[in-house]
């Protein structure tokens, strides 16, 4: 009976994934062109991560400067890069992020790397665009705790910033243009050329035997039903705890409610944007609650609550080896200089 339920779940998830793919935003909106994969049916749900379209250079440069600029926060201590560190896979390595005055956030910070390919932003998908995502922390009292009037006053006092905004945007320095500049920079934060990308592109020597075995199990067990596309995730929503109640033995937090906080619909409780698995070996701790720092433990938890399967040590080791092959070339600070 349990195997039958798991098979039915997999069918539902596959159909759901296809529906989200058809009705959601285009998660390939940064692509220059379509890519042709090897003639291997097993790879059809996945694609190598390509480079993005060329972005306006001056806007990218402005966005990079602002991404590392603490003037966006009320006490001038927090920048976007505080919670999205380049040395930690675009995340911050903490269970939850710490904002101004030591304020403790409610949720784990997702990576900003490759986020331009995601169909929505934040765990609950409350931001439809990177511009919305970039603007949100400015006002959040647990993050930057500031406001646009304060930020714009500070930036207007900087002659170089003011000049460059006038060159990059017809209407100069505005709140919308600050958010757009940051978002434009974030769209360049791509991590291409992971070993698994080379494997998908036809180099069957790019990853080792254990990783190939892990990829096979990843597909066969149904992980690929949600973790698919160029990001291996980031293109659909899914309930956390499909075949087990992940939240049964804990005091619920607002963050645990997931997409329900956006829609107010009962069916959206504990539903989250499926995270990208790219660079996942670099972005511990895992899940919206940052509850585990071990990638192996995270894989086992997903098997238990999403697949209804107790994964063996061999399963976990192989899948972890596969996930480690998803680490691409990391962006570096100063790439626009």
129 burial via Cβ count (<10 Å: 0-12, 13-18, 19+) = middle
Residue 26: how many other CB atoms lie within 10 Å: 11
| Nearest Cα to Cα of residue 65 among 212, 177, 182, 180 | 182
Beta bridge partners of 229: 46
Catalytic, out of 33, 64, 132, 143: 143
Torsion, CA 192, CA 326, CA 126, CA 74, rounded to 10: -70
| Nearest Cα to Cα of residue 84 among 143, 162, 140 | 143
DSSP letter assigned to residue 312: -
Residue 213: how many other CB atoms lie within 10 Å: 17
Distance (Å, whole) CA 136 – CA 268: 22
Residue 25: how many other CB atoms lie within 10 Å: 13
Contacts of 12 (CB under 8 A, 6+ apart): none
- 132 catalytic per annotation: no
Q: 142 and 104 in contact (C-beta within 8 Å)?
A: yes
Distance (Å, whole) CA 84 – CA 97: 10
- By annotation, the residues acting in catalysis are 143
């Amino acid at each position: 009976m349990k195997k039958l339920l798991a098979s039915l779940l997999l069918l539902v998830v596959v159909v759901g994934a296809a529906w989200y793919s058809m009705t959601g935003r285009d998660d390939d909106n940064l692509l220059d062109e379509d890519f042709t994969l090897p003639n291997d049916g097993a790879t059809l749900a996945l694609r190598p991560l390509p480079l993005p379209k060329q972005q306006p250079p001056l806007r990218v440069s402005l966005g990079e400067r602002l991404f590392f600029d603490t003037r966006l926060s009320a006490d001038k201590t927090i920048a976007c890069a505080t919670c999205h560190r380049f040395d930690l896979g675009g995340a911050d390595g903490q269970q939850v992020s710490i904002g101004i005055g030591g304020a403790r956030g409610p949720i784990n910070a997702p990576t900003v790397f490759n986020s331009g390919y995601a169909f929505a932003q934040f765990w609950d998908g409350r931001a439809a665009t990177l511009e919305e995502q970039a603007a949100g922390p400015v006002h959040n009292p647990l993050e930057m705790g500031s406001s646009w009037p304060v930020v714009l006053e500070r930036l207007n006092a900087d002659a170089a910033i003011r000049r460059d905004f006038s060159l990059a945007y017809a209407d100069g320095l505005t709140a919308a243009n600050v958010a757009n500049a940051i978002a434009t920079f974030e769209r360049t934060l791509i991590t291409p050329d992971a070993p698994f990308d080379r494997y998908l592109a036809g180099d069957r020597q790019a990853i080792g035997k254990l990783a190939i075995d892990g990829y096979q199990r990843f597909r066969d067990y149904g992980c690929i039903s949600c973790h698919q596309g160029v990001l291996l995730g980031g293109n659909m929503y899914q309930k956390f705890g499909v075949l087990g109640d992940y939240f049964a033995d804990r005091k619920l937090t607002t963050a645990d409610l997931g997409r329900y906080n956006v829609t107010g619909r009962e069916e959206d409780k504990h539903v989250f944007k499926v995270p990208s698995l790219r660079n996942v070996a670099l972005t511990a701790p895992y899940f919206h609650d940052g509850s585990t720092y071990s990638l192996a433990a995270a894989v086992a938890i997903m098997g238990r609550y999403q697949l209804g399967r107790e994964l063996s040590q061999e399963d976990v080791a192989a899948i972890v080896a596969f996930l480690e092959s998803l680490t691409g070339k990391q962006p570096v600070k100063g790439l626009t200089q």
